[in-house]
Amino acid sequence: MAVAIRADLADVPDYNIPRQTPDAVLLNANEVPVPPSPAVVEAIARAAVEGHRYPQWFSDTLVSRLAEVLGVPEPWIGVGCGSVSLCQQLIQAYCGPGDDIVCAWRSFDAYPVLGRIAGVAVRTVPLDSEHRHDLPAMLDAITPATRLVFVCNPNNPTGTAVRTQELGEFLDRVPDNVLVVLDEAYREFVTSPDVPDGIALALRRQNVAVLRTFSKAYGLAGIRVGYCVAPPAVVAAANKVSVPFAVSSLAQAAAMAVLDHPGEVRDRIGTVVRERERLHAGLTKLLSCPGHRAVPPSHANFLWLPLGERSVAFADFCARHGVLVRAFPGDGVRITVGLPEENDAFLCAADRFAFLAPPRGPRRVPRLT
């Protein structure tokens, strides 16, 4: 007889891993399309020579470099195996049986999965009509059992963002014993001055933690390294439950190298932002027909098509034309910004899709007489 899994995990969905198809245009995983620079590759190769030695447990050298770049004291910084690992560590550090976490939906898929894996109740709050976090509703969802609230800003998968004033008012009203986790994985792609910098907020509050990653703008998705900026007690709590040596020497070396070449990062971000705006204009034109909701402006490296029940059909149609995008059944489709030629291939496929087909209405039930 096989050993049984924990009963409460039996119905937890697997985390959705984007599929990879040879020769397809991959716009389904929010990766940046430009590979690491030669300097980063060389740093990884140098670190590999010492691959028989354990890495620094808490990435001390990288923490010092981040403190210098961010202007933040070292005790306020923790490093993890990607920002998603830090999400898990914060849940483990602050939540126990009977506690709950609050997050928006749709937002990052991992929040409810990680919560349920930890045995914690998850309270999800629908996005508002503009595909943004409904912060007043999230405040109403907080209970005496709530320990963590996740705010993904910009939000994955919609690319929308909450503004400085509304986020400040939200934080003012969150109870002091609730930790607000501002997940800013896509912060580097923000161009609007009215989208707040979470680190500045965290430095003024004792119950705010900010997560960022090297996976997106820095182009190290396959290397797995992210960081947390929070009061020292929060960083210490996250470190207490971290997996030993989770951030490899190669990942630490890559992050150090990419921080030493900020010009390359700015160029990559600039390319993504320009292509993002071009894609937005093209999709807005395609969907400017009755029965379709507008394409929300994006502050990230992807766009959101609110196609509702036609989301899967659209993603399947794109796949048949050699372009992979990410469908969220019943809600919408997320399209990662790729290289110009990749975006052209997507727009060409999208142009062939029957957006003008009338939406399916409610089934008419005949009246009985």
3-state secondary structure of 275: helix
Residue 21: predicted pLDDT: 80
Nearest-5° Cα angle at 28, 34 to 109? 120
Residue 358: predicted pLDDT: 47
- CA-nearest of 95, 80, 127 to 108 is 127
Please give the residue range of the domain that contains residue 195. Answer: 38-260
Statement: residue 84 has pLDDT above 90: yes
**Domains of the chain: total:** 2
- CA-nearest of 33, 57, 31 to 252 is 57
* Domain identity same for 194 and 295: no
Q: How, if at all, do strands 326-328 and 332-336 pair?
A: antiparallel
Q: How far apart are CA 19 and CA 17, in angstroms?
A: 6
Q: How far apart are CA 110 and CA 107, in angstroms?
A: 9
283 in any annotated domain: yes
Residue 366: predicted pLDDT: 36
Statement: residue 202 has pLDDT above 90: yes
Q: Which residue has the higher pLDDT, 9 or 210?
A: 210
The CA distances from residue 125 to 101, 132, 140, 278, in Å, are 11, 11, 10, 31
* Domain identity same for 83 and 49: yes
pLDDT in tens, 138-160: 999 999 999 999 999 999 999 99
227 in any annotated domain: yes
- CA-nearest of 33, 24, 1 to 279 is 33
The CA distances from residue 304 to 16, 172, 213, 222, 352, in Å, are 17, 30, 21, 24, 18
Residue 357: predicted pLDDT: 54
* Domain identity same for 22 and 92: no
Q: What are phi and psi of 87, to 5 degrees?
A: -55, -50
pLDDT in tens, 204-260: 999 999 999 999 999 999 999 999 999 999 999 999 999 999 999 999 999 999 999
Instruction: Measure the N-to-C terminal CA separation of the chain; round to a whole number of Å.
Output: 58
b vs e for 188-220, b when ≥16 Cβ sit within 10 Å of the residue's Cβ?
A: bbbeeeebbebbebbbeeebbbbbbbbbbbbbb
240 in any annotated domain: yes
Q: Which residues contact 332 (CB under 8 A, 6 or more apart)?
A: 106, 157, 158, 304, 305, 306, 307, 308, 311
Domain boundary among 260, 294, 320: 260
Statement: residue 365 has pLDDT above 50: no
368 in any annotated domain: no
113 in any annotated domain: yes
R_g of the chain computed on alpha carbons? 21
* Domain identity same for 224 and 287: no
* Domain identity same for 256 and 269: no
Q: How far apart are CA 285 and CA 283, in angstroms?
A: 5
Residue 5: predicted pLDDT: 85
Residue 356: predicted pLDDT: 57
Domain boundary among 241, 260, 279: 260
* Domain identity same for 293 and 238: no
Residue 221: predicted pLDDT: 96
3-state secondary structure of 137: helix
How much is the mean pLDDT over the chain?
Answer: 93
